[in-house]
Amino acid sequence: MSTSLDSPASGSISKSEFLSSLPRWRRFLAMLNWHPVVEYEIREIEREKRLQQLRSETEQMQKEEKQRKIAHEQRMLQLRKENAREAELDAKIAALWPSSTTSSHQTPPPERDSPT
C-alpha cells in the first residue's frame, strides 16, 4: 500500500501521477472505478507530506530557539562581566578620591611666611 513519490513543487500529486505510480493490477482496479480508495490514498500521501513538513518546521524552530537562548545567555554573561568591571572601577575611584564628608573637614593649607 505504500508508494514512494518524489515531492512535487505544489505539495500535492495529480490523479494521473498517482495512477502511474501504481502497479499494473492496481491501475486496473482503479480503472474499474475504485475511486474512493484512490482518493483516500491521495489524501493519505498529502497528509504524510504535510506532517513531514510540519516536523521539519518544528525542528527548525527548535534549533532557532536554542540559538536565541545561547545568544541571550552569552549577552547576559557579557553584561555581568561589564557590571563587575564597572563596580571595580567605581571602587578604585572611590578609594582614590576623598569622599565629600572628609573634604568638608580638611584643614586649610598653612600660610607661608612671606619675606618682607
The rounded percent of the chain whose pLDDT value lies above 90 is 41
Q: Which residue has the higher pLDDT, 76 or 37?
A: 76
pLDDT tens, position by position, 30-72 = 777 656 667 788 889 999 999 999 999 999 999 999 999 999 9
Q: What's the pLDDT score for residue 34?
A: 59
Query: 10 pLDDT band (50/70/90 cuts)?
Result: low
Q: What's the pLDDT score for residue 15?
A: 76
- The torsion angle over the Cα atoms of residues 3, 8, 10 and 11, rounded to 10 degrees, is 40
Q: What's the pLDDT score for residue 47?
A: 95
Average pLDDT value for residue range 21-32? 80
**pTM strictly above 0.85:** no
Report how far residue 12's alpha carbon sits from residue 27's, in angstroms, rounded to the nearest whole number: 19
Q: What's the pLDDT score for residue 89?
A: 93
- What 8-state DSSP symbol labels residue 61? H
Q: Is the pLDDT of residue 114 over 80?
A: no
Sign, CA torsion 59/61/64/69: negative
